[in-house]
Amino acid sequence: MPRRIAIANPVVRTAARLTPFRQGQLDALCGIYCTLNALQIAAYPVRPLGLSKARSLFTSAVSMMRKRHSSLNPVTQGMANERMIWLADHMAKSASTKRMQFVTEICDSEDVGGWIEESLNSGAPVVACLSDWVHFSVIVNLAPTGLALFDSQEMPWLPINPPEILADVIDRAGTLRIRRYTPTRNS
């Protein structure tokens, strides 16, 4: 069944106005960077994630990883899907304010493409582990021939050959979306 991503879905329109935070050449911090990039998209235009807030979240994320997983050095070794999901949730909560809150939602569908499609059409950027690259990135659009990315390593497009299915390219266990919501006065 062909995908039905809205032309210029809210996520890709927002990403076109922003610049992703970039990962260094010698680190393995794509999980932290892609979460910052997804938060940047989710926050815009209500309250853009400024450089100061991004630095604070980055520092907190590295510190939390070192405290919680002292035997792992996320700077040089990266992290597994479970740690990435835990960290993204921590970062989303840390980025939340009284006026704007973020929640992470783990992909719970066997139909990864349908789940990504629903996420993007509803304005929620998708963080995914790209299987062959062992790399976390933000998906901003899904097309029959590939994925448009908002990526920390300057990879704007990931081609998908027609015989490949999306589940072969994306590790569902490392896939989540970040939603922004604004609490009402009654909540």
Determine the pLDDT at residue 134: 85
Alpha carbon separation from 95 to 104, 115, 124, 178 (Å, rounded):
12, 24, 16, 11
- Please list the pLDDT of the chain residue by residue as tens digits (187 residues): 344 445 579 999 999 999 999 998 888 899 999 999 999 999 998 888 999 999 999 999 988 888 876 666 666 677 889 989 999 999 999 999 998 999 999 999 988 999 999 999 999 999 999 988 889 999 999 988 899 999 999 999 999 886 567 888 899 999 999 999 988 766 5
Fold category of 10-181 in CATH: Cathepsin B; Chain A (3.90.70)
- Give me the half-sphere count of Cα atoms (radius 13 Å) on the Cβ side of residue 136: 31
Instruction: Please report the pLDDT score of residue 71 as a whole number.
Output: 64
pLDDT at 107: 95
- Rounded Cα distance between 187 and 184, Å, is 5
